[in-house]
Amino acid sequence: MTLRRIFARGVMAMLAVLAAVPVYAADMEVKIDNFTFSPPQITVKAGTTITWVNHDDIPHTVVSKTLAFKSKAMDTDDKFSFTFATPGTFPYFCSLHPHMTGSIVVEADTGK
Amino acid sequence: MAHDHDHNEGPSRRKVLECMTWAGTGVLWTITGGVPHSLGLVDEAQAAEAKGLTFLQISDSHVGFDKPANPNAKGTLEEAIARVGAIPAKPAFMIHTGDITHLSKPAEFDDADKIISQAKLDVHYVPGEHDIIDPDVKLYKERYGRGTKGSGYYSFDANGVHFMGLVNVANLKGGGMGSLGDEQLAWIADDLKGRSASTPLVVFAHIPLWTVYPEWGWGTEDSGRALSLMKRFGSVTVLNGHIHQVMQKVEGNVTFHTARSTAFPQPAPGTAPSAGPMKVPAEQLRTMLGTASVTFKRGEKQLAIIDTPLAG
């Protein structure tokens, strides 16, 4: 292995650690599958970023009932992320198929 | 596909529905005094050659869809339009009950236009939820919404029949189904005011205007309010798409009918985990896609709907 390669691997390993940090902290994913948000309800600490991923063959959206957040139409495998900075309950739905609903409960981050 | 029906007795409604389900065979329906009876299967019915106003319904072309349920939705739309062109008696016009495109992209609208215009018929559109998902929600209205009200609803008259194109896919609320909204309901009331109760009404919108299956959102939450405004009319025909399968219901003077998609089939209510595209064997696909033609015979208060699959 050349020195350059060893260096490159080292950099990649560092990047991997950096990239992994927020995921490790609390970030979460909501899957959209078979016209369902899964899990439909999540409780998180303020500051958490939630990413929705559409696994259906049909586009979906993620729209907060209070319009606190609103995705574009997500085609298959498209993602949408939102960081929940303030505590509260955030019910949301798919504006194309409004029978699809979910909610995010955000609790104050007490630093624990 | 061959079917053994005892035509001397006339096929029973149940048999006919079986036919539609299993073979996708078109059926000519006649409504007299609100009671439907079938006149027979498509070939027989077409031989009888209906006179009066005939128009075509096409729906859910989903141009841009390329997933396994039909990797070539453009191709099946082309096939459907070629068949429209081959109909011996030229229909007066066409209605498209929405989901013209899959993702409201300009290129999808362009492709749809290029193909549908080959039928050389006027087309009256209403949007599906897939037609209003461009970032600025303006492409559908720019192309098809000239002279329409609100989210794109309008009415027109042809051969003494009053047509209303409604929009039930805009401003939907979480937990609900399709919705017309107060503004459109007020317009419907106004549009019908002073019209003679003997005027046949044809109402078309994307999502069914009756509750097919609320678990999948297959219905319109305020459709009851719209239909109550139409109660006094002797003949009301409601044409929808959205559910990608033929379904019919008669309630008093109102006949509800949904058309096939030209792109991909969807499962019967409750028979699958979700309403998503249904993958069927390639040789079966074209029996589950198609168009519908509707004929009014003036003076007879008769209405006939023929569903024709692309193959069958």
- What phi-psi label fits residue B24: left (phi over 0), alpha (psi between -120 and 50 degrees) or beta? left
pLDDT at A5: 59
Question: Hey, which residues 113-152 in chain B have their CB within 8 Å of chain A?
Answer: 129-130, 133, 135
Mean pLDDT calculated for residue range B286-308: 80
What is the structure's pLDDT at B298?
62
Is residue A1 over pLDDT 80? no
How much is the pLDDT for B290? 93
pLDDT digits (tens, 9 = 90+) for B110-142: 999 999 999 999 999 999 999 999 999 999 999
In this prediction, residue A12 carries a pLDDT of 54
Cα distance from N-terminal residue to C-terminal residue, chain A: 44
- With contacts defined as CB-CB under 8 Å, which chain A residues touch B175? 93, 98-99, 101
Structure confidence by residue, pLDDT tens digits, B245-280: 999 998 988 999 999 999 999 999 999 999 999 999
Predicted pLDDT at B89: 78
**Distance to chain B for A72, nearest Cα, Å:** 7
In Å, how far from its chain's centre is CA B161?
17
pLDDT tens-digit readout, A56-65: 999 999 999 9
Q: Which of B68, B214, B276 is closest, CB to CB, to A35?
A: B276
B213 touching A, CB under 8 A? no
Between B28 and A2, the higher pLDDT residue: A2
Alpha-carbon distance of B49 to B131, in angstroms, equals 35
Q: Nearest residue of B to residue A72 by CA position?
A: B135
Q: Which chain B positions have a beta carbon within 8 Å of A56's beta carbon?
A: 274, 276
Q: Is B194 exposed, middle or buried (0-12, 13-18, 19+ CB in 10 A)?
A: exposed
Across the range B30-52, mean pLDDT stands at 42
Total Cβ atoms within 10 A of residue A5:
9
Residue B20 has pLDDT above 80, yes or no: no
Whether B51 has a pLDDT exceeding 80, the answer reads: no
pLDDT band, residue A109 (cuts 50/70/90): confident
Identify which of A58, A65, A76 has the shortest CB distance to residue B174: A65
Question: In this predicted structure, what is the pLDDT of residue A110?
Answer: 80
Cβ of residue B227 closer than 8 Å to a chain A Cβ? no
Mean pLDDT of A84-105: 97
- CB spacing of A59 vs B133 below 8 angstroms: yes
Taking CB atoms and an 8 Å limit, are B172 and A76 in contact across chains?
no
DSSP letters spanning A40-103: SEEEEETTEEEEEEE-SSS-B--EETTSS-B---B-TT-EEEEEE-S-EEEEEE-SSSTT-EEE
Chain B residues touching A63 at Cβ < 8 A:
174
The mean pLDDT value of chain A amounts to 85
For residue range B154-209, list pLDDT tens digits in order. 999 998 899 999 999 999 999 999 999 999 999 999 999 999 999 999 999 999 99
Residue A8's pLDDT is 58
ipTM for the whole complex: 0.81
What is the reported pLDDT for A112? 60
The pairing of strands B35-41 and B27-32 is: antiparallel
Across the range B210-218, mean pLDDT stands at: 96
- Report the alpha-carbon angle B67-A70-B153, nearest 5: 75
Among A19-23, B239-243, B299-303, the range with the most confident prediction by mean pLDDT is B239-243
Share of chain A above pLDDT 90, in %: 72
**Contact at CB, B172 and A96, closer than 8 angstroms:** yes
Q: Do residue A36 and residue B176 have CB atoms under 8 angstroms apart?
A: no
User: How many other C-beta atoms are found inside a 10 Å radius of the C-beta of residue B202?
Assistant: 24
pLDDT score recorded for residue A7: 56
**What confidence score (pLDDT) does residue B18 get?**
36
**In this complex, do B274 and A59 lie within 8 Å of one another by their Cβ atoms?**
no
Nearest to B161 by CA among B210, B216, B201, B193: B201
Mean pLDDT (chain B) is 85
pLDDT band at B8 (very low <50, low <70, confident <90, very high): very low
Quote the pLDDT of residue B240: 97
Is there a contact between B235 and B201 (Cβ–Cβ < 8 Å)? yes
Average pLDDT over residues B40-52: 46
CB proximity A103 to B under 8 Å: no
* The pLDDT value given to residue B206: 98
Residue among B135, B273, B277 whose CB faces A57 most closely: B277
Give one DSSP letter per residue of A2-44, joined into a string: -HHHHHHHHHHHHHHHHHHHHHHHT-EEEEEETTEEESSEEEE
